Amino acid sequence: MMRMKIIFVLYFTILLPLALAKLKVGFYKTSCPRAESIVKAAVQKRFNTDKSITAALLRMHFHDCFVRGCDASILIDSTNKSRSEKESGPNLTVRGYELIDEAKKALEKVCPSKVSCADIITLATRDSVVLAGGPSYDVPTGRRDGRVSNINEVNLPGPSLSVSQAFQSFKDKGLTMDDMVTLLGGHTVGVAHCSFFSGRLTNFQGTGKPDPSMDAGLVTKLKGICGNGSNPTAFLDQGTSFRFDNEYYRQIRAKKGVLKIDQELADDRLSSGIVSRFASNANSFRTRFAQAMVKMGNIQVLVGNAGEIRKNCRASRAAAFTRHPLCSRSDPLNGD
Binding residues for heme b: 187
Task: Name the catalytic one among 61, 63, 193, 324.
Answer: 63
Q: Which long-range contacts (CB under 8 A, 24 or more apart) does 273-282 make?
A: 274/177, 274/178, 274/181, 274/182, 275/181, 275/249, 276/249, 278/181, 278/182, 278/185, 278/246, 278/249, 279/246, 279/249, 279/250, 279/253, 281/246, 282/245, 282/246
Measured CA to CA in angstroms, residue 74 lies from 21, 88, 246, 282 at distances of 24, 10, 29, 32
Task: Say whether 63 is catalytic.
Answer: yes
Task: For residue 324, give the H/E element and its range.
Answer: none
* Measured distance CA(144)–CA(116) in Å, rounded: 6
**Burial group, residue 21, by CB count within 10 angstroms (0-12, 13-18, 19+):** middle
Diameter over CA atoms, the chain: 79
Do the beta carbons of residue 226 and residue 232 sit within 8 Å?
A: yes
* Measured distance CA(74)–CA(67) in Å, rounded: 8
Binding residues: 64, 67, 69, 71, 73, 85, 157, 187-188, 237, 240, 245
Binding residues for substrate: 157
Query: Which residues are known to be catalytic?
Result: 63
